[in-house]
């Protein structure tokens, strides 16, 4: 059994020392993913990659009911947690009490790769939630690639599928999301 698997098993039974050891083991990779994601954020974003990793970690570990089956499951959960943090921050900035007003979002080529502002991020999030209900595996690829900044090769390894399958899922997801966002 790998070190990560044994630590996840210990975390699942409530061992707090195992949680700290696991964070030490995966911190560099989580930070790299957060750095990549933050590089794609709109200029002037105040959240730093380290803060994103720490906030995601706290959300993951504070949920006592959450059990991680394996490393892949953990990183998928971490990517989802990072996505939710960024969405929450975008919604907060846009909130009326902070001076935000809803505006029309237009599609621009490549925005599924790098969102330009909060409205685009929220539009992608809404479409992605709808997509996940219909196509959960493809949505997982989008979460890992778009929100965690992982490569097709990394995603394929984590999901236990071929790189070509991940690329096909990504192409399908981009087309579906484009139609969903463009149709509104």
Question: Could you give the number of structural domains in the chain?
Answer: 1
pLDDT above 70 as % of the chain: 83
Copy the structure tokens of residue 180.
């969903």
What residues make up the domain containing 123? Answer: 3-182
The pLDDT tens digits of the residues spanning 28-56 come to 888 887 887 777 776 666 778 888 889 98
Instruction: State pTM to two decimals.
Output: 0.59
Nearest to 22 by CA among 68, 86, 76, 65: 68
The pLDDT tens digits of the residues spanning 152-182 come to 998 898 889 999 999 999 999 988 888 888 7
pLDDT above 90 as % of the chain: 12
């Amino acid at each position: 059994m790998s070190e990560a698997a044994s630590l996840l098993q210990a975390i699942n039974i409530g061992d707090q020392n195992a949680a700290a050891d696991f964070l030490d083991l995966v911190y560099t990779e989580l930070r790299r993913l957060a750095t990549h994601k933050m590089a794609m954020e709109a200029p002037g974003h105040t959240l730093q990659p380290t803060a994103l990793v720490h906030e995601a970690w706290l959300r993951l570990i504070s949920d006592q009911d959450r059990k991680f089956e394996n490393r892949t499951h953990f990183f998928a959960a971490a990517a989802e947690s990072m996505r939710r943090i960024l969405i929450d921050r975008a919604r907060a900035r846009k909130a009326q009490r902070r001076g935000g007003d809803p505006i029309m979002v237009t599609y621009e080529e490549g925005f599924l790769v790098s969102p330009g502002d909060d409205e685009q991020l929220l539009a992608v999030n809404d479409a992605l939630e709808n997509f996940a209900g219909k196509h959960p595996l493809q949505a997982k690829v989008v979460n890992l690639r778009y929100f965690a900044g992982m490569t097709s090769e990394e995603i394929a390894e984590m999901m236990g599928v071929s790189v070509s399958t991940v690329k096909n899922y990504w192409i399908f997801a981009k087309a579906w999301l484009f139609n969903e966002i463009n149709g509104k």
